[in-house]
Amino acid sequence: MYVWRRKESRNAREPKLTHKQDIDIVVLTPGKTAEQLKDILVRADSRFYTIRPKDLYATYRVLWFNLLTTGGSSYSLGRYHACKVDILLPGTMNIPSVPQNLVLSIRKLPLMPMMPLLLLKLQAWMDHGSAIKQHLRDKQPVDVLDINQLLVLAVARGVSLSTDAWMPESFVEAAESRVVIFGKQYPSSRQYWRKLGFGKKL
């Protein structure tokens, strides 16, 4: 599995985050649902715990990780020192299934490759902009900051569409239309998109 970080949650009912980030974990191992994986984590490590979501009719629970070094799984301990954890499977939110040999690790932490990470963040920016709920639209400014930072990193590391030819064609085509829209709103980003191989429509 590998992770990437997102901005702090603005849901007033969720624990406040001193870490100011939440974590997305993409699980490549087949055969388990997200809820089953949450249960496995909770049983394996007492620092993981779940709470009811805001939606009273939801059939899932929200996973949190207690950041206190002393451990403990109680909500009262974790509410000011907790990190929200989303368990995702390939196919969820159009997340592509990444070949195992392309998953790199930093300090023993396996990470999402740079290009799909950037394109998924671009997708999130687009989704947040068209969202009905205001708290989702409010996430767009942070998305823009993340995208611009990832663009610089991706170019610096020599990432491009040609080096990530494994990505599904439909995933890349959807990204290309989003790149055009992002480039129109943020012209300074175009030079970076072109270097990544998205220059056809910019």
pTM, 2 dp: 0.75
Q: Which residues contact 57 (CB under 8 A, 6 or more apart)?
A: none
pLDDT digits (tens, 9 = 90+) for 56-107: 888 999 999 988 755 444 444 445 578 889 999 988 888 998 998 888 888 8
Domain extent listing, the chain: 2-89, 100-105+113-195
Q: Which helix (H) or strand (E) holds 82?
A: strand 82-88
Q: Is 104 left (phi over 0), alpha (psi -120 to 50) or beta?
A: beta
Question: What residue type is 164 in one-letter code?
Answer: D
Q: Read off the tokens for 147.
A: 């995208």
